[in-house]
Amino acid sequence: MKPIYVGLCGVGTVGGGTATVLKRNAEEIARRAGRPIVVKMAANRDLDRAREVCGSDVTIVDDAFAVVNNPDIDIVVELIGGTTIAKDIVLKAIENGKHVVTANKKLIAEYGNEIFARAQEKGVIVAFEAAVAGGIPIIKALREGLTANKIEWVAGIINGTSNFILTEMRDKGLAFADVLAEAQRLGYAEADPTFDIEGHDAAHKLTIMSAIAFGIPVQFDKAYLEGISKLDATDIKYAMELGYRIKLLGVTRRRENGIELRVAPTLIPQKRLIANVDGVMNAVLVKGDAVGATLYYGPGAGAEPTASSVIADLVDITRLHTADPEHRVPHLAFQPTQLADLPILPVDEIETCYYLRLNAQDQAGVLADVTRILADGGISVDAMLQKTAGEAGRTDIIIVTHLAIEKNVNAALAKIEALPTINGKVVKLRLEHLG
Amino acid sequence: MKPIYVGLCGVGTVGGGTATVLKRNAEEIARRAGRPIVVKMAANRDLDRAREVCGSDVTIVDDAFAVVNNPDIDIVVELIGGTTIAKDIVLKAIENGKHVVTANKKLIAEYGNEIFARAQEKGVIVAFEAAVAGGIPIIKALREGLTANKIEWVAGIINGTSNFILTEMRDKGLAFADVLAEAQRLGYAEADPTFDIEGHDAAHKLTIMSAIAFGIPVQFDKAYLEGISKLDATDIKYAMELGYRIKLLGVTRRRENGIELRVAPTLIPQKRLIANVDGVMNAVLVKGDAVGATLYYGPGAGAEPTASSVIADLVDITRLHTADPEHRVPHLAFQPTQLADLPILPVDEIETCYYLRLNAQDQAGVLADVTRILADGGISVDAMLQKTAGEAGRTDIIIVTHLAIEKNVNAALAKIEALPTINGKVVKLRLEHLG
């Protein structure tokens, strides 16, 4: 049986893992796919590294377009990253009638609509399991495993760096900056960690899952992002006292009038399995109307876990590229003519529970004023905790609300902050029960 | 676009759920599948129930063969259960060139090899996601999501009834018999609970996962089964003191000389996510050489969760039945000509850690005798706990071992039980670190 020939564009961490696993498990993979899957050509700036990783049977070049234009290549694997050359490579591969596998979450979240439209015209598959949650086959679960369901929401811990930092802050009671420095030393955080800690990376992944869950185009520009760099260790401690953990959580939820799409530090009840996903691990919890809640857990990054997803896509294409292109698994789970135009809701319109921390003068009437403002704003209180703060005559008040609309909470907080008995800004975090 | 016409054989709990969800989410499902998926005919002994559930557009009959022989039916859904008429129905559907979806774990675990061979000859698909772990898309994950990996082991909590009973025993400190009675009252356990509590149901599911993970034929008759009915509340308590939970765990592991395939009450470190899967929920943990450990969690039974998997299979077939039958996703993940003949190892040959509870006379030298016997048998001790038992002059000794071969442990236990200072039989439970 003729092998499937793969052209690798980019032989960095994931590209190296892909070449290594394809070689190591060649027999196992061929037994599953029905034919060998072989890297025939690889493009990399560092030719020596590519030669070392891929071995002497593979043609090594420094120009990715040479791979894409090689008529012997059946599937192009794009592992260059970014949205400039990577986008050109993917579009050219499609134009040349080649199937594409990519791990590029930014590319799919920002240019997926254009890429999938071109792929559909050409009858080729663009697969991207590795773009979300590394080795966890969550795209497959959402796109194929849960097709019976109206998906209600998806919630995910989908950035390992942030989860590592939050886990260390909680376990060791350290401040954000100290843990970040440690994470950088250990190689879990980049020298410039912005992309991870401010939620961009998680929002790219969430955008893709949202499109697949609800049958809407990818709309990364409408996602709301809030990172963990301003998170105070005090709130992690108070959250624990109340029975919650704080995670950088991506949440996308179907509401009647639109879709919520947001990444933010979020309280989750400690009793939920997902609240106990620690360190660099990832997990995604999906709520469907028929199945209820299902959870998918595993390593969200790393050479071989990500390669695991890249190769699963290669096997999928090998097995299924002969299916009628008009009806096989659609890129975004829903047939391209059947996408919905439900809008992404602005953050003001989201509905969730809230954790509020106020610093107040320790005197009679403060609580009455605060709870009156909340009640007037239609915000009902689920739990309250009053703590003696460090400074004399001041106290921390922690309030957990029931479901409320964000703009109503913001309006109430403006009034609370204007009270003479309240010191400074109120800390506001979102809280999800995920029940 | 012409609908896909489904024939439902059996309109019980899962059949009812399937008809209900197909109707409720018809639009969502058609947007995903590319065409409507419609129940056209249903067979059930209770015609009135079938009419009520399926609605007036569906032809209701009492003979399942009328469904299978109807030329208008594209996919037959077998939800009758058992292995007599269900097997005939499935084989006849295949003979008639129809695709089949089944939730019947017993049928697949015991007759899968024959059924898949016939389906292969006829170029039809037999899909069975609902047969393992209810609504969790674990078959898809193993068969398609993890194809890059040499799977090392699969461990699952895959019987909700047993997990409910064990959770209650632990939380309330109750004996097995008391909790079973409660579970029966709540409808979580059958009047005759043997199938669930003695591990048959879990072993059926594990047999299927083992075949898919390792590329071997289904071999239910070689599975080792040990249920929870003899489990003592004392051991649940001691396990917790040592940092473990006891679960009815299905474990299948690839060893050099064969495959382990066993269901038994098993200690798991409390810090593992899977140890915290409680109540009727299911979870499967899979270790692959490239991806590492991934976990899949959700409801393992119930009308709509199981229907979720049945319908996912219907959508899959709708999307993919046009792919070349020689190369599309193989029933057991590996191409039918590429199954391995690795034997299932007898239980004597399994290698795992052990929890041992001895009741001993509280006198000098007992521990020395016991540890000498273990050492002579090549069994090394990981942890030990000595407890004052109820009766004067007696003490419980709990020993946790490192990895050992079962027959060596049994030989050592025979010698230990022969010691004059040891009372009665030693309790032996298996222990998995799942790291």
Q: Is residue B15 annotated as involved in ligand binding?
A: yes
- Which residues of chain A does B297 touch, with a Cβ-Cβ cutoff of 8 Å? 273, 294-297
Residue B410 backbone dihedrals phi, psi, to 5 degrees: -60, -40
Contacts of B335 in chain A (CB under 8 A): 31-32, 34
B329 contact residues in A (CB cutoff 8 A): 319-320
Q: What is the mean pLDDT of residues A200-210?
A: 98
Q: Which fold has domain A139-299?
A: Dihydrodipicolinate Reductase; domain 2 (3.30.360)
Nearest CA in chain A to B137: A145
Strands (E), A300-433: 351-361, 381-388, 394-401, 404-405, 422-431
Q: What pLDDT score does B314 carry?
A: 98
Residues of B in contact with A25 (CB under 8 A): 148-150, 289-290
CA distances from B124 to B76, B79, B116, B143, B343 (A): 11, 18, 9, 17, 29
CB-nearest partner of B137 from A145, A273, A324: A145
- Which residue shows structure tokens 């992404």? A344
Nearest CA to CA, how far is B397 from chain A (Å)?
32
DSSP structure class, residue A282: E
Q: What percent of chain A has a predicted confidence (pLDDT) above 90?
A: 94
Q: Is B407 an active-site residue?
A: no
Q: What is the pLDDT of residue A387?
A: 84
**Nearest residue in chain B measured CA to CA from A287:** B298
Residue ranges of chain A assigned to CATH 3.30.70.260: 349-431
What's the CATH number for A4-127? Answer: 3.40.50.720
Half-sphere exposure of B267 (CA within 13 A, CB side): 26
* B128 neighbors B101 (Cβ within 8 angstroms): yes
Please tell me which residue of chain B has the smallest CA distance to A332: B32
A287 belongs to an annotated ligand binding site: no
Rounded CA-CA distance B183/B177 in Å is 10
Q: Does residue B318 sit at the A interface (CB-CB below 8 Å)?
A: yes
**Nearest residue, CB atoms, B145 vs list A137, A322, A330:** A137
Fold of B138-294: Dihydrodipicolinate Reductase; domain 2 (3.30.360)
Residues on chain B touching A329 (C-beta within 8 angstroms): 319-320
Give how far the C-alpha of residue B22 lies from the chain's centroid of Cα atoms, to the nearest Å.
26
CATH 3.30.360.10 residue spans of chain A: 139-299
Query: Given the DSSP bridges, would you call strands A151-157 and A75-78 parallel, antiparallel or unpaired?
Result: unpaired
Q: Where in chain B is the domain with CATH 3.30.360.10?
A: 138-294
Measured CA distances, B363 to B306, B366, B416 (Å): 56, 6, 15
- Cα B206 to Cα B201: distance, rounded to the nearest angstrom: 9
Q: What is the mean pLDDT of residues A399-426?
A: 97
Out of A22, A135, A323, closest to residue B320 by CB: A323
In B289-402, the DSSP E strands lie at 292-299, 351-361, 381-388, 394-401
B54 labeled part of a ligand binding site? no
Chain A residues with beta carbon closer than 8 angstroms to that of B31: 215, 334-335, 338
B19: tokens are 């008809």
Distance CA B118, CA A432 (A): 49
E strands, A79-218, in order: 99-102, 126-127, 151-157
pLDDT at B390: 66
Structure tokens at B256: 């050099």
Residue from the list A290, A294, A304 with its beta carbon closest to the beta carbon of B307: A290
A 10 A CB-CB count for B208 gives 25
CA pair distance A265, A14, nearest whole angstrom? 28
In Å, how far are B177, B240, B433 from B234, measured between CA atoms? 14, 10, 21
* Residue to substitute from B18, B20, B21, B28, interface A, most A β-carbons within 10 A: B28
For A330, the closest chain B residue by CA position comes to B32
Interface of B with A in 359-378 (CB under 8 A): none
Assigned token pair, B340: 């391995």
Q: Measured between CA atoms, how close is A434 to chain B, in angstroms?
A: 13
Packed helices B26-33 and B303-320: angle between N→C axes, nearest 10 degrees:
30
Query: Which B residues 268-307 touch A at CB under 8 Å?
Result: 273, 276-277, 288-299, 304-305, 307
Query: A335 and chain B: CB distance < 8 Å anywhere?
Result: yes
| Residue in the structure block whose two tokens are 């309250």 | A384
Window 60-119 of A: residues touching B by CB (8 A cutoff) are none
pLDDT band at A397 (very low <50, low <70, confident <90, very high): very high
Residues in Cβ contact with B51 at an 8 Å cutoff, skipping those fewer than 6 apart: B58, B60
Q: Return the closest-CA partner of residue A127 out of A89, A107, A95, A101.
A: A101
Is there a contact between B295 and A297 if contact means CB atoms under 8 Å apart?
Answer: yes
Nearest to A322 among B28, B319, B323 (CB): B323
A164 vs A189: CA distance, rounded Å: 9
> In this complex, do A296 and B291 lie within 8 Å of one another by their Cβ atoms?
no
B 1-40: CB under 8 A from A: 17, 21-22, 24-25, 28-35
pLDDT tens, residue order, chain B (435 aa): 799 999 999 999 999 999 999 999 999 999 999 999 999 999 999 999 999 999 999 999 999 999 999 999 999 999 999 999 999 999 999 999 999 999 999 999 999 999 999 999 999 999 999 999 999 999 999 999 999 999 999 999 999 999 999 999 999 999 999 999 999 998 889 999 999 999 999 999 999 999 999 999 999 999 999 999 999 999 999 999 999 999 999 999 999 999 999 999 999 999 999 999 999 999 999 999 999 999 999 999 999 999 999 999 999 999 999 898 888 999 999 999 999 999 999 999 999 999 999 999 988 889 999 999 999 999 999 999 998 766 678 899 999 999 999 999 999 999 999 999 999 999 999 999 998
pLDDT at A389: 61
Residues of B in contact with A29 (CB under 8 A): 147-148
Q: Do A308 and B290 touch (CB under 8 A)?
A: yes
**Could you give the CA distance from residue B8 to residue B74 in angstroms, rounded to a whole number?**
11
- Range A349-431: architecture per CATH: 2-Layer Sandwich (3.30)
Provide mean pLDDT across the span A284-310: 98
- Asked if the Cβ–Cβ distance from A148 to B277 is below 8 Å, we say no
CB A232 within 8 A of CB A169: no
Q: What distance in Å separates the CA atoms of residue B137 and residue A142, rounded to the nearest whole number? A: 10
Q: What does the alpha-carbon distance between residue A60 and residue A48 come to, in Å, rounded to a whole number? A: 9
ipTM of the complex: 0.97
- Report the distance separating Cα B345 and Cα B347, nearest Å: 6
- Domain(s) of CATH 3.40.50.720: residues in chain B: 4-127
| Run of H or E including A264 | strand A258-269
Q: Which pLDDT score is estimated for A188?
A: 87
Query: Which residue from B146, B137, B153, B272 is spatially nearest to A135, judged by alpha carbons?
Result: B146
Measure in Å the smallest separation between the Cα of A396 and chain B Cα atoms.
33
Report which of A390, A403, A386, A400 is spatially closest to residue A429, judged by C-alpha positions: A400
Per residue in A68-96, pLDDT (tens digit) is 999 999 999 999 999 999 999 999 999 99
| Subunit contact B338:A277, Cβ cutoff 8 A | no
Q: Is A82 annotated as a binding residue?
A: no
What is the rounded radius of gyration, in angstroms, for the C-alpha atoms of chain A? Answer: 24
Residues of B in contact with A148 (CB under 8 A): 21-22, 25, 29, 307-312, 315
Whether the CA torsion B86, B87, B88, B92 is positive or negative: it is positive
pLDDT of A1 over the 90 cut: no
User: CB–CB of A54/A11 below 8 Å?
Assistant: yes
Name which of B13, B22, B149 to mutate to probe chain A: the one with the most chain A Cβ atoms within 10 A of its Cβ.
B149
Q: Which of A146, A215, A291 sits opposite B299 (nearest CB)?
A: A291
Q: Provide DSSP, B87-137.
A: HHHHHHHHHTT-EEEE--HHHHHHHHHHHHHHHHHHT--EE-GGGSSTTS-
CA distances in angstroms from B94 to B13, B81, B97, B301, listed in the order given: 24, 17, 5, 27
Choose, from A40, A87, A205, A287, the residue flagged as catalytic: A205
Per-residue pLDDT tens for A339-383? 999 999 999 999 999 999 999 998 888 999 999 999 999 999 999
- Residue A327 pLDDT greater than 90, yes or no: no
Beta carbons of B292 and A311 less than 8 Å apart: no
The stretch A160-170 carries a mean pLDDT of: 97
Per DSSP, A302 falls in state: S
Parts of chain B belonging to CATH 3.30.70.260: 347-431
The residue type found at A403 is: L
Tokens of B105: 């774990």
- On whether A102 is known to bind a ligand per the annotation, the reply is no
Q: Do the Cβ atoms of A261 and A207 come closer than 8 Å?
A: yes
d(CA B342, CA A312): 24
CB contact under 8 A, A294 and B295: no
For chain B, the C-alpha Rg in angstroms (whole number) is 24
Q: B126-127 and A99-102: which strand pairing? A: unpaired
Give residue A324's region: left, alpha or beta (phi > 0; psi -120 to 50): beta
| Contact of A28 with A61, CB cutoff 8 Å | no
Interacting residues of B410 by C-beta distance below 8 A, sequence separation 6+: B348
CB contact under 8 A, A326 and B141: no
Q: Which two tokens stand for residue A149?
A: 């369901």
Buried b (16+ CB within 10 A) or exposed e, A295-330: bbbbbbbbbbbbbbbbbbbbbbbbbbbbbeeebbbb
Closest CB from A31, A148, A320 relative to B215: A31
How distant, in Å, are the alpha carbons of B242, B413, B423, B428, B429 from that of B358?
16, 10, 8, 9, 12
Give A84's contacts (C-beta < 8 A, 6+ positions apart): none
Fold for the domain defined by B347-431? Alpha-Beta Plaits (3.30.70)
